[in-house]
């Protein structure tokens, strides 16, 4: 684990046996889950475990986080690195695909591990924390690349860093004259809202805008503790955007998407992107065809405020970048 302290947040479930003891694995599912765990990380925070309806075999929260035997099957079209970051990595931890913005991945740990994650081959509790020297080199790259106007922190989840380390990174980036805005992509406000504390809020206060793109896929992820965390961020001056993935069995209906985007707006989060699923290994059970997604989004128009409608995007293969799908 990076220096984020996970124990103070309550018990996080990280093994098939812990999931079984918590009533989150069906009888007989533990052996398959153990095989999944050999390849892909598992984590369900105490907060998320409390959102799961154990009586519902189709629960849309459980489906996002509880390992399934289907993950052991890689479909022919699935690839290990669907966004093809590697050719766009000028220095370890940086992805520079568009001239004016670049990603910084300071670590690859997350509060929860999503079963559909496009980086599932690399994320994990002990993976990818940049060393001090690597982080210094990555930040020096931002300082030396004047075309870059926005630094996007992703990972993994940057809010798994301690506020002290996160604050140091944000302050150094904010001090770069050509960087106008910072952005953090995170699941923490909905997955482990207790991390949004006074120390984190202070770390975000760096004198330049720090946008936060919050990853959530179902209305029930906007539980009271999550909404309160988002309100703290909003009052702190952090503009909030929503980022979702269109997922079979989680949000693949007009009603589920309407509920999700309305829940975001109530939590002061502007829906920004709805991503089509990237074909990472063992994720086929979540796939929704693009034309079906387009029909869903078109049905939302007129039914919800324009403010509630994100841009529907797909990551092109071989590192082609994001492309809006249809005229949604
Ligand atoms: C998605 C992405 C960004 C940010 O794109 P926006 O459309 O500005 O949200 C930046 N760099 C890379 C490599 C990306 O994949
Ligand atoms: S939080 Fe993001 S990076 Fe982490 S497992 Fe989920 S989708 Fe992947």
Probe residue for ligand 2, chosen from 82, 184, 215 as the CB with the greatest number of ligand atoms within 8 Å:
215
Tell me the pLDDT band of 5, cut-offs 50, 70 and 90. Answer: very low
Closest ligand by atom to 118 CA: 2
Query: How does pLDDT run across 30-53, given as a tens digit for each residue?
Result: 999 999 999 999 999 999 999 999
157 lines ligand 2 (CB under 6 A): yes
Distance 206 CA to ligand 2 centre (A): 26
**The domain made up of 79-324 is a member of CATH 3.20.20.70:** yes
What six digits make up the tokens of 13?
């479930």
Are the CB atoms for 45 and 12 separated by under 8 Å?
yes
| pLDDT at residue 104, rounded to an integer | 98
pLDDT at 234 over 70: yes
233 Cβ contact list (under 8 Å, min separation 6)? 189, 196, 201, 204, 212, 240
Tokens of 218: 């179902």
Quote the CA–CA distance of 37 and 174 in Å, as a whole number. Answer: 39
- Hey, which of 157, 184, 244 would you mutate to test ligand 2's pocket, going by the most ligand atoms within 8 Å of its Cβ? 157
Of 240, 248, 311, 304, the residue nearest 277 (C-alpha):
248
79-85: long-range contacts at Cβ-Cβ below 8 A with a sequence spacing of 24 or more?
Answer: 79/279, 79/280, 79/281, 79/317, 80/121, 80/280, 80/281, 81/121, 82/118, 82/278, 82/279, 82/280, 82/315, 82/317, 83/118, 83/119, 83/278, 83/315, 83/319, 84/317, 84/318, 84/319, 85/319
- Please give the pLDDT value at position 328: 47
Cα separation, 273 vs 52, in Å, equals 25
CA of residue 134 to ligand 2 center, whole Å: 22
Q: Is the CB of 187 under 6 A from ligand 2?
A: yes
Q: Cis before residue 130, ω within 30 degrees of 0?
A: no
- Protein residue with least CA distance to atom 7, ligand 1: 322
Residue 138's nearest CA partner among 107, 181, 180 is 107
Query: What is residue 96's predicted lDDT score, i.e. its pLDDT?
Result: 97
Distance CA 168, CA 235 (A): 22
Substitution site in 81, 97, 98, 119 for ligand 1 pocket (most atoms within 8 Å of beta carbon): 98
Position 8 pLDDT exceeds 80: no
Residue 220 has a pLDDT of 98
Residue 82 has pLDDT above 90, yes or no: no
**For the chain, domain boundaries:** 79-324
Structure tokens at 112: 């929860």
Strand partners, 104: 94, 153
User: Which residue CA neighbors atom 8 of ligand 1 most closely?
Assistant: 101
Q: Is the pLDDT of residue 99 over 60?
A: yes
pLDDT higher than threshold 70 for residue 4: no
Residue 268 predicted with pLDDT over 50: yes
Residue 255: its pLDDT value, please? Answer: 98
More confident residue, 6 or 255: 255
Distance CA 216, CA 191 (A): 9
Write out the H or E segment, with its range, that includes residue 290: helix 290-300
Q: What is the pTM of this model?
A: 0.95
Angle (nearest 5°) at CA 83 between 81 and 84: 65
Read off the pLDDT of residues 158-182 as tens digits, 9 standing for 90 and up: 999 999 999 999 999 999 999 999 9
Distance 221 CA to ligand 1 centre (A): 24
How confident is residue 327, by pLDDT bands cut at 50, 70 and 90? low
Mean pLDDT, residues 135-144 taken together:
98
- Taking the CA of residue 273 as reference, the ligand 1 atom at the shortest distance is 9
């Amino acid at each position: 684990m990076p220096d984020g302290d996970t124990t103070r947040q309550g018990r996080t479930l990280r093994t098939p046996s812990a999931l079984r003891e918590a009533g989150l694995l069906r009888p007989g599912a533990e052996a398959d889950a153990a095989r999944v765990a050999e390849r892909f990380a598992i984590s369900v925070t105490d907060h998320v475990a409390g959102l799961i309806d154990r009586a519902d075999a189709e629960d849309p929260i459980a489906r996002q986080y509880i390992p399934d035997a289907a993950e052991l099957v890689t479909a022919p079209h699935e690839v290990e690195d669907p966004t093809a970051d590697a050719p766009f990595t000028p220095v370890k931890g940086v992805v520079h695909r568009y001239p004016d913005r670049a990603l910084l991945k300071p670590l690859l740990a997350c509060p929860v591990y999503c079963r559909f994650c496009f980086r599932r081959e690399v994320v994990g509790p002990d993976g990818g924390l940049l060393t001090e020297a690597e982080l210094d080199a990555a930040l020096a790259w931002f300082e030396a690349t004047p075309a870059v106007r926005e630094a996007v922190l992703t990972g993994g989840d940057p809010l798994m860093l301690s506020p002290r380390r996160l604050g140091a990174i944000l302050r150094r980036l904010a001090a770069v004259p050509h960087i106008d805005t910072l952005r953090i992509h995170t699941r923490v406000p909905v997955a482990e809202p207790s991390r949004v504390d006074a120390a984190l809020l202070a770390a975000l206060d760096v004198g330049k805008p720090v946008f936060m793109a919050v990853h959530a896929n179902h209305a029930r992820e906007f539980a009271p503790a999550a909404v309160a965390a988002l309100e703290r961020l909003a009052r702190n001056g952090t503009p909030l955007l929503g980022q979702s993935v269109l997922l079979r069995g989680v949000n693949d209906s007009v009603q589920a998407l309407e509920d999700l985007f309305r829940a975001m707006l109530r939590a002061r989060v502007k829906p920004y992107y709805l991503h089509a699923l990237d074909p990472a290994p063992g994720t086929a059970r979540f796939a929704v065809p693009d034309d079906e997604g387009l029909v869903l989004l078109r049905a939302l128009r007129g039914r919800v405020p324009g403010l509630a409608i994100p841009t529907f995007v797909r990551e092109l293969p071989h590192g082609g970048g994001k492309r809006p799908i249809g005229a949604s």
